[in-house]
Amino acid sequence: MFWEGQAISIVGESTPPRNPVGFWCPVLHAHLPFVRHAEHEHFLEEDWLYEAVIETYLPLLRMMDHLSRDRVRFRLTLTLSPPLLAMMQDPLLMKRTERRIDALLRLASKEVRRTATQDKHLLDATIFAEQDLASLKELFVSTYRRDLVTAFSKHRAAGSIEIITCGATHGFLPLMRHTPEAVRAQIQVATTDFRRIFGYLPEGIWLPECGYFEGVETYLAETGLRYSFMESHGVTDSFPPPRFGVLAPIMSTGGIVFFGRDMESSRQVWSSEVGYPGDPEYREFYKDAGWELPLKDLVDFMKPDEPRRPVGLKRHRVTGKVGQHLKEPYVRGRALSRVLEHAAHFADERRRQAARARPAMDRPPLIVSPYDAELFGHWWFEGPQFLEQVFRNLDARNDIIATTPPAYLAQFDECDVASPEMSTWGEKGYASVWLNETNDWIYPHYDAAVRRMIRLADRHPAATGLLGRALNQAARELLLAQSSDWAFIMKTGTMVEYATSRVIGHLKDFSDLAAAIEGQALDERMVRRFEKAWPIFPALDYRVYSSSLH
């Protein structure tokens, strides 16, 4: 048994001894809900994936390739959520992603020709956009052969990145705590799917929305998970208070190591108000050719009767707090100059931060900086170049060492033991984004479906054939309904109709399957139709919901 306040040892990978000023642990959380609509040639919400691949995942891989080519040491931790992995491995979606890159290239090329004689002030920015898209297409098609999972895995094999998992469908675990089977399903399905794809079990997990509740450790430990991350107040409000706050990990009384988010380094990057992305020289996110060009030039992206929307061709800079019509053309060289300045500033700030904390600690401080991966490239276009320059700066000085949780624990194997506080990230930090008047209606339906799924699993402990397939599909529909993305979208008020339709649609399909199973009236065509619509979790075993596992 561990007692609160006790320091215990963790066994991890071996690393050479170092005595740096401090450590920096960057964490990128990459996740999207599973969106696949093969029945439609174009489907608006699939754009989420295309944008993320083109604007974030490919630029991040390019960054890693540059660092590896130049033998620059870098370490970062990357969540690849199960729905995102499923989409990355889906041939149809990857082919459609290539189609989107081709469409953007055609548009950019056409705009280069137009701005050479009209709107000449946009010519240089348009040429850069075309060249950048051509580079990304070369990477996606020729270098990576549309296989981003293998591309990331190569950097993991080289020891540069640590890939971790998440909840199966990013389900919000604190609101499932009263049904252990639901929590267990989110964790076990995720780790099983991770092992199927990568060939090994993950050591770490990103709790969806950083949603921690006391006892979640039981489900993590069952699958061999060793560590996770937590919003800063989840650690600082622990009992007893940890000696070093968020500048060292803690071991919860449930036996899992938690790394607390450092707000100082996080805010410096993600805040558009006080952080780097709001700099006037950086590319403006909101001013997009989709709002401005004639509709006849945008036929690859939207139908004439559809509302306008962004398409991904952006050629202006932030400029300042001015109207969109006053935004000035993007100048790549000036933006890169700011990247160098900001990367140097960020690295120096981490040195000062570590130096301030070091005298009161028995080890070098660990600065954990978690971000949504899509911040880098999608929201902040220059973000990948910023990360690259930070790594180059740190490697050149070798005083702040970029690290991952396993590498850090291998070197500093004692953690304060404490009971963390229930916490989430997001507004107010205590689940209000995922439980409020806009989305609270979904949870009674989730709970009823979970209880029904448990009864089905208990009633059929060894189903095979069509019955086994139907039970697996029922579990799949339930998991897809539980994605925290739907509650988040309802709260933010964007794409609410789609989020609502996904929740209702999956719960209805679950109910139809359950009724057919209970009434012994299964239709193979119905099961096959649902399986074809949502090809995710091929190794899913419905018995993960069995109450006998509790």
Residues 83-94: tens digit of each pLDDT: 999 999 999 999
Region of residue 240 (left: phi > 0; alpha: psi -120 to 50; beta: else): beta
In a domain, 344, yes or no: no
C-alpha to C-alpha distance for 14 and 256, rounded to whole angstroms: 20
162 and 250 both lie in a single domain: yes
DSSP string, 29-65: EE-------TTSSS-GGGHHHHHHIIIIIHHHHHHHH
- Give the least confident one: 17-21, 400-404, 469-473: 17-21
Domain total for the chain?
A: 2
Q: Are 474 and 456 in contact (CB under 8 A)?
A: yes
453 and 396 both lie in a single domain: no
Last residue in a domain, options 428, 451, 478 = 428
408 and 544 both lie in a single domain: no
Last residue in a domain, options 380, 397, 428 = 428
Last residue in a domain, options 388, 409, 428 = 428
C-alpha to C-alpha distance for 245 and 247, rounded to whole angstroms: 6
- Look up the domain containing 487 and give its range: 437-549
pLDDT of 457 over the 90 cut: yes
In a domain, 282, yes or no: no
261 and 195 both lie in a single domain: yes
In a domain, 293, yes or no: no
417 and 454 both lie in a single domain: no
424 and 444 both lie in a single domain: no
232 and 185 both lie in a single domain: yes
39 and 171 both lie in a single domain: yes
Q: Residue 291 CB: number of other CB atoms within 10 A? A: 13
Say what the pLDDT of residue 436 is. Answer: 97
521 and 475 both lie in a single domain: yes
DSSP string, 335-349: HHHHHHHHHHHHHHH
In a domain, 200, yes or no: yes
In a domain, 537, yes or no: yes
Q: Indicate the pLDDT class of residue 3, thresholds 50, 70 and 90.
A: very low
Q: Are 536 and 476 in contact (CB under 8 A)?
A: yes
In a domain, 330, yes or no: no
- Return the exposure string of 442-472: e unless at least 16 CB atoms fall within 10 Å of the residue's CB, then b: bbeebeebbebbbebbeebeebeeebebbbb
DSSP string, 223-267: TT--EEEE-HHHHHT-BSPPTTGGGS-EEETTS-EEEE--HHHHH
- Give the least confident one: 128-137, 272-281, 304-313, 538-547: 272-281
Query: Nearest Cα to 99, choosing from 47, 32, 151, 58?
Result: 47
Residue 479 sits in a domain of what CATH number? 1.20.1430.10
Q: Indicate the pLDDT class of residue 548, thresholds 50, 70 and 90.
A: confident
442 and 419 both lie in a single domain: no
pLDDT of 343 over the 60 cut: yes
Q: Indicate the pLDDT class of residue 18, thresholds 50, 70 and 90.
A: low
Task: Give the residue-averaged pLDDT of 254-262.
Answer: 97
pLDDT of 460 over the 60 cut: yes
C-alpha to C-alpha distance for 494 and 488, rounded to whole angstroms: 9
- Give the least confident one: 14-28, 256-270, 411-425: 14-28
In a domain, 524, yes or no: yes
Residue 387 sits in a domain of what CATH number? 3.20.110.10
404 and 485 both lie in a single domain: no
What is the model's pTM?
0.95
In a domain, 232, yes or no: yes
pLDDT of 15 over the 80 cut: no
- The more confidently predicted of residues 492 and 7 is 492
Task: Give the residue-averaged pLDDT of 223-251.
Answer: 97
44 and 171 both lie in a single domain: yes
Q: Are 152 and 63 in contact (CB under 8 A)?
A: no
The percent of residues above 90 in pLDDT, for the chain, comes to: 93
